[in-house]
Structure 1
Amino acid sequence: MKKSISFIYLLFLVLTLSCSKNDVEFEEAAIDNPFDKENALNTNAQRSMGSGVMMQAFYWDVPDGGTWWNTVSTKVADWSNAGIDAIWLPPASKAQNGPFSMGYDPFDYYDFGNYNQMGSTETRFGSLTELQNLITTAHNSNVSVIADIVINHNSGGGSEANPFTGGNTWTDFQPASGNFLRSSYDFHPNDYHSNDYGAFGGFPDLCHHKSYVQDWLWNNSNSVAKYYKNTIGFDGWRFDYVKGFEPWVVNSWVNAVGGFAVGEYWDSNVSTLDWWTSQANASAFDFACYYAMRDAFSNNDLNNLNNNMLWKVNGSKAVTFVANHDTDEIFNNKILAYAYILTHEGYPTIFYRDYEEWLDKNKLNNLIWIHNNLASGSTDILHVDNDEYIAKRNGYNSSGLIVYINNSDSWLERWVPTNWSNTVIKDYTGNSSWEPTTQSGTWVKIQAPPHGYTVWSTK
């Protein structure tokens, strides 16, 4: 009996000591902040989608077997409590590879796991009922749901004689839903024109100039867009491979059904990204920011953070990210990259595996809290060199913040200007115990740990 009691006591000590300093400091930061902790965690309920933090709720080759929708459902409440305001799901409808497909080879836009075709009834992710249960769970947790829309190309059609090529093409689409039947007249080349911006991977390339295609994609009362929104319950849109068609396509979709929209325009040219967002009436993933961070944190030269990025040109249209299902090149100092996007302008996205498997979830939750409660207003870059990066958010609905990223091997300190005069400030990450008072001229000395970061704001 004495041995059992000793074991329980030892276990209690281990569990108690395992609470890191970061955990304690995060709890204190949430309580001491001008927003109380309960309100801070539920701030996303009052935010419109695009002003909080998005979770990419999948990765390439998630487990097959129809379990993914249920897996995500179990996590939504915790994500919401952490401050996530939207989840981005993979392409949800039936694709050519049926139970094994990640959805980027779409066949039947109206089959969400309820028709027996392409080798299965369920999709890789689950059934229609499980998808709708997930969406209901998300909505009950004040979390919006973003659909991945793949409308550049299709896959899985039967062979037919094609009068525009003089041979046979795989363009005869007869989906079991009976909706959006397609033929060679709906793909390139056809009787309208031979091609648009670009085809992908040899798949049949949809022609968005055909009125029949437009009607089925967004115009009809039972169009794909309206079915996704009104029947399935999606709130927003992530458009795949938008380089393959003109931006007016996304604009037309958004005009027909509304909702937040972001396009995957894979290009690091900021002017091109900015042009696309204005033409498409949508946001774009900030690939310019992604590549600047890759070069900064992987090559150990933070001067790259001085590069131009979409968030610097139009922060309201920039969706920032550190990794996604297609690209994950920031292997070193990845948490520093998250400290960057979660304190700067733009709509930051967290990658599922970074949050659930690879990085410190407590640190990410802390940064999400900082983003949702402190990171507002315009941005001023205060200092940048090989190892240091310091920037100031000037505040809008809050007092703003100063973020200090240190990629050197030792603690660093630096005097910086603030927006606060004769004011006590603190580090809301818990990485520094300093609580300095700003001078009457607003200057203050702050510090950051090696290969770490601090985020400063008023107490």
Structure 2
Amino acid sequence: MKNGVMMQYFEWNLPDDGSLWKQLKEDAQHLHDIGVTAVWIPPAYKGCGTEDVGYGTYDLYDLGEFDQKGAVRTKYGTKQELIEMIEALHACDICVYLDAVMNHKAGADHIETCMARLVDPDDRDQPLCEPYEIECWTGFDFPGRGEKYSDFKWHWFHFSGTDYNERDKKTGIYQIVSEGKAWSVGVDNENGNYDYLMFSDIDLDHPDVIADLKHWGIWVTKETKIDGMRLDAIKHMNDKFTKQFLEAVRAECGAGFYAVGEYWIEDIETMEGYLANVEYGIDLFDVCLHYNMHKASKNSCDYDLRTILDNTLVSRHPELAVTFVDNHDSQQGSSLESYIEDWFKPSAYALILLMEKGYPCIFYGDYYGTEGNVSPHKDIIEKLLDVRQRCAHGIQTDYFDHPCTIGFTRQGVEKIPGSGLALLISNGEDGEKQMNVGIQHAGEVWHEITGNRTEEVTIDNEGNGLFFVSGGKAAVWTP
């Protein structure tokens, strides 16, 4: 009855030294020991240069094997180091999920000429001019790789938009104009149509593009033996393509191939609509819960903790929800900055790691730190991971009955001695709450494991205990 935990093993500011794959290989046993069961790794293929985090994708087939964009290695290492790292994780019973960026390409090899028109960034369906000829960076020949693994070469007609006209040195959103070409449907309707995000936008309606991306998905899965993918920027991608892509990979690589998508939106109805469109074939990160926790951390005791799970994916579709506190996009200095304040972060992690529902994901920056700084949360995360494995089992009973103090209990299961827990979270003053942990725990003495409280709680004959929490803290009580 192992409780799965994912770790995002990177942050935005890692050094450009090619060391991450080696570091992760050496860290595999440690991750297993603390209870991590899967690792989400950054894009492992060649970007615009070695400094690229991976989202400026140049060549999906170059995993650090070819001399392209100034080096053989990627920011994180070579292909051989990638393979060895995955083998080490698998030897420790840890799954590996690759970050897959299929929305756009960057760092083209040569300029091409095509017809395009500028569109309104706030409404991409509104042209700002008539189509005219531009010079765009859309030619991808991959001279360092040649035709190894794939002979597909990219040209302007494989894209739906780009961001720069070399002829007049102007930036903007240029919609490429050609017979039968249009922005994709099945994308988010923000800005009219949110097909275009950045760089040269891949046309996911083009049959040759679809065929090569499916080929890549199957190839990279077999080549590296990854267990799943994190799909980047899916709100900007034709949902029909995403569904077909995963079906193709699972048909060749096994129905258990895991996928979680990044649909960054704070609207549960939009998320539910997307899941229906892809026939519930993918998990999603619970961005709605992230923003609830962000607001809780910003508003302190003015936030009603009873609402923290309202309109979240984990409350509507718990089997499809990947819960997280922060990630590389929400961390300080990122484009979607919305990080959870340090005072509330232990409570946020206690919530996602100890509750019955959801697939929790830990952020590298919260565990190891960002920009070379040590994280203040490593110790509490390790304690919570330990409690998750030993104690976070059995029926959950919620006590979301006070605006500043909420909690829940897990009754534990007979086959795991010592299991069961009580969690209290406060965003105001010290609090207490009587909660039931099950009559099977009658007579037991429970202690608080974070160090915030020193009392002992004796469970009465009906399974009740009076549990305590310090103001602005989380308290985790276990047998």
Task: Please report the TM-score for the alignment, with normalisation by the length of structure 1.
Answer: 0.82
Aligned position for 2:79 = 128
Tell me, what secondary structure is at the counterpart of 1:84? coil
Say if 1:393 and 1:52 are closer, same or farther in 2 by CA, change over 3 A. same
Tell me, what secondary structure is at the counterpart of 1:64? coil
- Please say if residues 426 and 471 of structure 2, whose CA atoms lie closer than 8 Å, have aligned partners that are also in contact: yes
The two structures, once aligned, show a CA RMSD in angstroms of 2.3
Q: How far apart are 1:274 and its partner, in Å?
A: 2.7
Q: Deviations over 1:111-139 (max 9, x none)?
A: 11111111221111111111111111111
Q: How far apart are 1:404 and its partner, in Å?
A: 0.8
**Residue 353 of structure 1 aligns to which amino acid in structure 2?**
G
Gaps of 5+ in 2: 117-130, 161-175, 188-193, 251-256, 332-338, 369-373
Aligned position for 2:354 = 343
1:275 aligns with 2:273: yes
Q: How far apart are 1:362 and its partner, in Å?
A: 3.0
- Please say if residues 185 and 191 of structure 1, whose CA atoms lie closer than 8 Å, have aligned partners that are also in contact: no
Q: Deviations over 1:284-336 (max 9, x none)?
A: 11011001111112311234415221101111111111111110321232111
Aligned position for 1:36 = none
Say if 1:305 and 1:423 are closer, same or farther in 2 by CA, change over 3 A. farther
Aligned position for 2:45 = 93
Q: Deviations over 1:81-111 (max 9, x none)?
A: 1000111111110012x11111101111111
- Please say if residues 427 and 454 of structure 1, whose CA atoms lie closer than 8 Å, have aligned partners that are also in contact: no
- Listed as ranges, the matches of 1:57-206 within 5 Å are 57-96=9-48, 98-157=49-108, 158-163=110-115, 166-175=133-142, 176-177=144-145, 178=147, 179=150, 180-188=152-160, 189=176, 190-196=178-184, 197=187, 198-206=194-202
> Which among 329, 341, 350 is matched to residue 331 of structure 1?
341
**After alignment, is 115-124 or 162-171 more displaced?**
162-171
Say if 1:214 and 1:100 are closer, same or farther in 2 by CA, change over 3 A. same
- Listed as ranges, the matches of 1:59-458 within 5 Å are 59-96=11-48, 98-157=49-108, 158-163=110-115, 166-175=133-142, 176-177=144-145, 178=147, 179=150, 180-188=152-160, 189=176, 190-196=178-184, 197=187, 198-218=194-214, 223-258=215-250, 259-280=257-278, 281-300=281-300, 301=303, 302-328=305-331, 329-333=339-343, 334-344=345-355, 345-356=357-368, 357-376=374-393, 379-393=396-410, 400-410=420-430, 412-420=431-439, 422-424=442-444, 426-427=446-447, 429=449, 431=451, 432-457=453-478
Aligned position for 1:20 = none
Q: Deviations over 1:160-202 (max 9, x none)?
A: 1225663332221112332331112211144443111334444
Say if 1:174 and 1:311 are closer, same or farther in 2 by CA, change over 3 A. same
Higher strand share: 2
Q: How far apart are 1:380 and its partner, in Å?
A: 3.8
**After alignment, is 265-274 or 441-450 more displaced?**
441-450
Higher helix share: 1
Gaps of 5+ in 1: 1-42
Rounded Cα–Cα distance in structure 1 between residues aligned with 2:342 and 2:102:
35
Tell me, what secondary structure is at the counterpart of 1:326? coil
Say if 1:215 and 1:305 are closer, same or farther in 2 by CA, change over 3 A. same
- Please say if residues 239 and 261 of structure 1, whose CA atoms lie closer than 8 Å, have aligned partners that are also in contact: yes
Q: How far apart are 1:423 and its partner, in Å?
A: 4.6
**After alignment, is 393-402 or 78-87 more displaced?**
393-402
Q: How far apart are 1:240 and its partner, in Å?
A: 0.8
**After alignment, is 223-232 or 440-449 more displaced?**
440-449
Q: Which gives a bigger RCO, structure 1 or 2 (Cα 8 Å, sep 6+)?
A: 1
- Please say if residues 324 and 361 of structure 2, whose CA atoms lie closer than 8 Å, have aligned partners that are also in contact: yes
What percentage of residue pairs aligned between the two structures are identical? 27
- Please say if residues 306 and 384 of structure 1, whose CA atoms lie closer than 8 Å, have aligned partners that are also in contact: no
Q: How far apart are 1:74 and its partner, in Å?
A: 2.0
The number of residues matched between the two structures is 404
**After alignment, is 393-402 or 345-354 more displaced?**
393-402
**Residue 60 of structure 1 aligns to which amino acid in structure 2?**
W
Tell me, what secondary structure is at the counterpart of 2:77? coil
- Please say if residues 446 and 459 of structure 2, whose CA atoms lie closer than 8 Å, have aligned partners that are also in contact: no
Rounded Cα–Cα distance in structure 1 between residues aligned with 2:183 and 2:310:
35
Aligned position for 1:13 = none
- Please say if residues 69 and 126 of structure 1, whose CA atoms lie closer than 8 Å, have aligned partners that are also in contact: yes
Say if 1:121 and 1:348 are closer, same or farther in 2 by CA, change over 3 A. same
